[in-house]
């Protein structure tokens, strides 16, 4: 798996549903053994993209290859080499955890005994061994997701599609899921992970592709993307809101852009590197501005997303959940 | 081909394991026909005349055919559920034989139909039904019924994949099957119906299967009914199995 060929090659893939253009010409290469995070808001086309690569849906135009096999012409070959774990935990609720994995193993062509052995191995790996003989109906949301992921790994596929693996999970299960995915990736599997959570992409992905309105609008590592929107951000919280104007005027020379105000907080995208805080404090005290708090931070993926697309990545509801994480 | 057989068996097994764990379906599927048997035997039966045959013996084959035709509900609802829960996506992403999910589902119905048939025959015997034919003919009747039930499982497989929700699968099936079972020779002699209904009841495949079963179980003249019943069943499979498989291949999860 260490050749130069990309594990997944996508060229000009398009797909519409009636009037809605879900994918408007996607080009993407994914190198073997990396985690590519496909980041985008709800409705950006992430799931459609994964479904096309997983041979579940045909593209209207363009082509896609997985490990050199065309997803339409060589669909059967592609299916032998991929694992799919979806947004909705696709396991049978009326079977036990073990029965689910044995079923999937046998559908990959293993004997009952081989499938059972692999099933136990995976259940142990995902800390589900105690629940192996319990019907999935009784599992928690996090346990279902782990079982779903285990089912995707039954045949040890070299390519894995994870479509929003933590959407809808509580923060604790989510962190558990992240740990599981990280362990997996250490094993050299090529992973295409879709997510609408910036922190998830930041933590898990080697490379991030930002998708919006059916097109990849930026690609790079988390740091590369952050560098694209420039330097650091200075946030100044004022004692007195009426001094906002004064503070803005005092800080304006530090940036090429107009400082922004939100409540008591003035935000400035600073040009220089180093000495920023000292410089800011000097300018503010000369102007007689009372400062409650002052901080300097690198841009987050949130800022990147906002800059690239003109809108925030996450739905307001999702953001609220995030606050508890 | 070997993959098709083994994959189908895996899916059949899955559906049979599920059965006792979600007993609501099986329960509805057996208790309701018993209520029908009692209703027709003791409430309506006295007013229905079936010259030459005690009504209970006339009734049991009719109710069994009705029950077995409805047996495909388990398939329709189960498949629809699989589509919505994403299990169909999982299956379609696996390197398994394409028709196996449907073939395994419908094969499992044969078992549920056999269970329902046994329960109904036992109920019938308790209230006065008995076979009046050699064992081979009785078995022939059982096989013809299972084949017919299997054919309707394919109809329901198609309905289950096409319908947007389990509830709509349920009502599409009910609307289609209800007139077929009642405008037939299941509960009354078609000759007692108004002319258009009489005509429909005579050409209705349900009547063919019901008449064939009565002939085989009660030792009556069978006429063309037995082979017509078999031909109808095979024709239904020949139409609906390819339709359902084609639909499955391009199923998009909703």
* Domain span holding position A236: 231-298
Under 8 Å between Cβ of A170 and A142: yes
Asked if A14 and A80 sit in the same domain, the reply is: yes
Q: Do A57 and B252 touch (CB under 8 A)?
A: yes
Share of chain B above pLDDT 90, in %: 53
Q: Which of B6, B87, B95 sits opposite A79 (nearest CB)?
A: B95
Residue A189 φ then ψ, to 5°: -75, 145
Asked if A237 and A120 sit in the same domain, the reply is: no
Structure tokens belonging to residue A230? 């420039």
For A265-289, write each residue's pLDDT tens digit: 888 888 766 788 888 888 888 888 8
Q: Do A95 and B93 touch (CB under 8 A)?
A: no
Asked if A150 and A285 sit in the same domain, the reply is: no
**Chain A interface test: which of B95, B96, B98, B166 (most A C-beta within 10 Å):** B95
Chain B residue with the nearest C-alpha to that of A115: B10
Average pLDDT estimate for A54-80: 92
pLDDT for residue A4: 64
* Residue B34 parent element (H or E): helix B23-38
Residue B44 φ then ψ, to 5°: -85, -30
Which value does ipTM take for this structure?
0.86
Contact list, B94 vs chain A (CB under 8 Å): 79, 104, 107-108
Within-domain flag for A199: yes
Contact list, B86 vs chain A (CB under 8 Å): 86-90
Chain A residue with the nearest C-alpha to that of B252: A57
Under 8 Å between Cβ of A167 and A87: yes
Asked if A287 and A147 sit in the same domain, the reply is: no
**Chain B interface test: which of A47, A53, A56, A58 (most B C-beta within 10 Å):** A56
Chain A residue with the nearest C-alpha to that of B90: A90
Average pLDDT estimate for B87-104: 91
Residue A157 φ then ψ, to 5°: -70, 140
Nearest by Cα to B145 from B177, B172, B113: B113
Within-domain flag for A80: yes
Q: Which of A51, A99, A104 sits opposite B94 (nearest CB)?
A: A104
The CATH number of residue A185's host domain is: 3.40.50.300
Q: Which of B21, B87, B252 sits opposite A90 (nearest CB)?
A: B87
Chain B residue with the nearest C-alpha to that of A102: B10
Within-domain flag for A56: yes
Average pLDDT estimate for A300-305: 73
Size of interface A-B (CB pairs under 8 A): 71
Asked if A216 and A272 sit in the same domain, the reply is: no
Sign for the CA dihedral angle at A63, A68, A73, A74 comes to negative
Structure tokens belonging to residue A17? 């549903």
Residue B21 φ then ψ, to 5°: -85, -15
Other C-beta atoms lying within 10 Å of the C-beta of residue A124: 12
pLDDT for residue A318: 37
Angle at B34 between CA B29 and CA B40, to 5 degrees: 125
Chain B residue with the nearest C-alpha to that of A153: B94
Tell me which residues of chain B have a C-beta less than 8 Å from any C-beta of chain A: 3, 6-7, 10, 13-14, 17-18, 21-22, 85-87, 89-96, 100, 250, 252-253
Structural domains in chain A (count): 2
* Mean pLDDT across chain A: 85
Asked if A179 and A100 sit in the same domain, the reply is: yes
Within-domain flag for A118: yes
**Distance, CA of A64 to CA of A89 (rounded, Å):** 25
Alpha-helical runs (H) found in B44-134:
55-71, 73-85, 87-92, 100-126
pLDDT for residue A227: 74
Q: Do A90 and B10 touch (CB under 8 A)?
A: no
**Distance, CA of A297 to CA of B86 (rounded, Å):** 42
The CATH number of residue A276's host domain is: 3.30.70.100
**Distance, CA of A192 to CA of A161 (rounded, Å):** 5
Q: Indicate the domain borders of chain B.
A: 2-249
Band the pLDDT of A321: cuts 50, 70, 90: very low
Structure tokens belonging to residue B180? 């077929």
Within-domain flag for A52: yes
**Distance, CA of B131 to CA of B150 (rounded, Å):** 24
* Residue B154 parent element (H or E): helix B135-162
Cβ-in-10-Å burial (0-12, 13-18, 19+) of B175 comes to exposed
**Distance, CA of B90 to CA of A95 (rounded, Å):** 15
Within-domain flag for A188: yes
Q: Do B90 and A106 touch (CB under 8 A)?
A: no
Asked if A238 and A221 sit in the same domain, the reply is: no
* pLDDT score of A244 more than 50: yes
**Distance, CA of B141 to CA of B64 (rounded, Å):** 11
For B122-148, write each residue's pLDDT tens digit: 999 999 899 998 999 999 999 999 999
Contact list, B22 vs chain A (CB under 8 Å): 94
**Distance, CA of A27 to CA of B11 (rounded, Å):** 38
Nearest by Cα to A215 from A54, A64, A44, A47: A44
Last residue of a domain, one of A227, A251, A285: A227
Q: Which of B3, B6, B93 sits opposite A56 (nearest CB)?
A: B93
Structure tokens belonging to residue A299? 């841009």
For A87-101, A146-160, A178-192, which range has the lowest pLDDT when averaged over its residues?
A178-192
Under 8 Å between Cβ of A136 and A100: yes
**Distance, CA of A161 to CA of A154 (rounded, Å):** 14
Asked if A183 and A267 sit in the same domain, the reply is: no
* pLDDT score of A3 more than 60: no
Asked if A198 and A59 sit in the same domain, the reply is: yes
* pLDDT score of B225 more than 90: no
Under 8 Å between Cβ of A202 and A222: yes
Contact list, B13 vs chain A (CB under 8 Å): 103
Nearest by Cα to B99 from B229, B254, B235, B244: B244
**Least Cα separation, residue A313 to chain B (angstroms):** 24
What is the β-pairing status of strands A20-30 and A35-39?
unpaired
Other C-beta atoms lying within 10 Å of the C-beta of residue B210: 28
**Least Cα separation, residue B98 to chain A (angstroms):** 10
Q: Which of A55, A88, A89 sits opposite B93 (nearest CB)?
A: A55
Nearest by Cα to A159 from A239, A225, A66: A66
Q: Which of B87, B95, B250 sits opposite A76 (nearest CB)?
A: B95
Cβ-in-10-Å burial (0-12, 13-18, 19+) of B32 comes to middle
Average pLDDT estimate for B99-104: 93
pLDDT for residue A229: 67
Chain A residue with the nearest C-alpha to that of B21: A94
Chain A residue with the nearest C-alpha to that of B22: A94
Contact list, B14 vs chain A (CB under 8 Å): 92, 95, 99, 103
For B8-22, write each residue's pLDDT tens digit: 999 999 999 988 887
* Mean pLDDT across chain B: 89
**Least Cα separation, residue A27 to chain B (angstroms):** 23
Last residue of a domain, one of A171, A198, A227: A227
Within-domain flag for A307: no
Tell me which residues of chain A have a C-beta less than 8 Å from any C-beta of chain B: 51, 54-58, 76, 79-80, 82, 84, 86-95, 99, 103-104, 106-109, 135, 151
Share of chain B above pLDDT 70, in %: 98
State pTM to two decimals: 0.81
Ramachandran sector of residue A160 (left: φ over 0; alpha: ψ -120 to 50; beta: rest) = beta
| Cα torsion through B94, B98, B104, B109, rounded to 10 | 130
* pLDDT score of A81 more than 80: yes
Asked if A198 and A293 sit in the same domain, the reply is: no
Contact list, A82 vs chain B (CB under 8 Å): 93
pLDDT for residue A323: 34
Asked if A46 and A193 sit in the same domain, the reply is: yes
Within-domain flag for A84: yes
Structure tokens belonging to residue B222? 């069978």
Share of chain A above pLDDT 90, in %: 39
Asked if A256 and A153 sit in the same domain, the reply is: no
**Distance, CA of B190 to CA of B176 (rounded, Å):** 19
Write the CB contacts of B117 (distance below 8 Å, at least 6 apart in sequence).
B64, B67, B68, B142, B145, B146
């Amino acid at each position: 798996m260490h050749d130069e060929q990309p594990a997944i090659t996508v060229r000009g893939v398009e797909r519409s549903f009636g009037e809605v253009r879900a994918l408007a010409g996607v080009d993407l290469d994914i190198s073997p053994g990396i985690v590519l995070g496909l980041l985008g808001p709800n409705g950006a086309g992430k799931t459609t993209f994964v479904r096309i690569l997983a041979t579940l849906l045909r593209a209207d135009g363009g082509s896609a290859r997985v490990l050199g096999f065309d997803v339409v012409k060589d669909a059967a070959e592609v299916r032998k080499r991929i694992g799919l774990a979806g947004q909705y935990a696709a396991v049978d609720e009326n079977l036990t955890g073990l029965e689910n994995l044995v079923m999937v193993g046998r559908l990959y062509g293993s004997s009952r005994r081989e499938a059972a052995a692999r099933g136990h191995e995976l259940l142990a790996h995902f800390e589900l061994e105690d629940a192996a003989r319990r019907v999935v109906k009784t599992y928690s949301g996090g346990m279902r997701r782990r079982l779903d992921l285990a089912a995707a790994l039954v045949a040890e596929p070299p390519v894995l599609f994870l479509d929003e693996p933590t959407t809808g999970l509580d923060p604790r299960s989510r962190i558990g899921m992240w740990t599981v995915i990280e362990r997996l990736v250490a094993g050299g599997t090529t992973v295409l992970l879709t997510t609408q959570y910036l922190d998830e992409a930041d933590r898990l992905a080697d490379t991030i592709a930002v998708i919006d309105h059916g097109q990849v609008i930026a690609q790079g590592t988390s740091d590369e993307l952050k560098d694209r929107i420039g330097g650091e951000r200075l946030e100044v919280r004022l004692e007195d809101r009426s001094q906002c104007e004064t503070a803005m005027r005092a800080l304006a020379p530090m940036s090429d852009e107009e400082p922004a105000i939100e409540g008591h907080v003035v935000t400035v995208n600073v040009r220089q590197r180093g000495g920023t805080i000292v410089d800011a404090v000097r300018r503010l005290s000369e102007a007689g501005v009372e400062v409650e708090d002052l901080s300097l931070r690198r841009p987050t993926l949130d800022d990147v997303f906002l800059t690239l697309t003109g809108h925030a990545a996450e739905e307001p509801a999702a953001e609220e959940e995030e606050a508890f994480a | 081909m070997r993959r098709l057989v083994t994959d189908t068996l895996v899916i059949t097994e899955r559906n049979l394991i599920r059965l006792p764990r979600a007993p609501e379906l099986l329960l509805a599927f057996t208790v309701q026909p018993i209520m029908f048997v009692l209703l027709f035997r003791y409430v309506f039966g006295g007013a229905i005349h079936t010259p030459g045959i005690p009504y209970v013996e006339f009734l049991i084959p009719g109710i069994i055919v009705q029950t077995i035709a409805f047996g495909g509900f388990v398939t329709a609802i189960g498949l629809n559920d699989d589509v919505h829960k994403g299990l169909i996506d999982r299956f379609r992403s696996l390197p398994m034989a394409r028709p196996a999910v449907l073939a395994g589902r419908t094969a499992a119905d044969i078992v549920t139909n056999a269970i329902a048939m046994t329960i109904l025959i036992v109920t019938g015997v308790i209230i006065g039904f008995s076979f009046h034919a050699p064992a081979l003919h009785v078995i022939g009747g059982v096989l013809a019924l299972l084949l017919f039930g299997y054919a309707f499982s394919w109809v329901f497989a198609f309905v289950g994949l096409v319908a947007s929700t389990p509830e709509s699968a349920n009502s599409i099936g009910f609307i289609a099957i209800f007139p077929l079972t009642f405008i037939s020779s299941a509960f009354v002699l078609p000759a007692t119906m108004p002319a258009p209904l009489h005509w429909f009841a005579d050409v209705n495949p349900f009547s063919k299967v019901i008449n064939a079963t009565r002939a085989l179980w009660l030792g009556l003249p069978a006429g063309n009914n037995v082979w017509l019943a078999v031909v109808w069943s095979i024709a239904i499979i020949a139409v609906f199995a390819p339709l359902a498989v084609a639909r499955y291949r391009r199923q998009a999860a909703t």
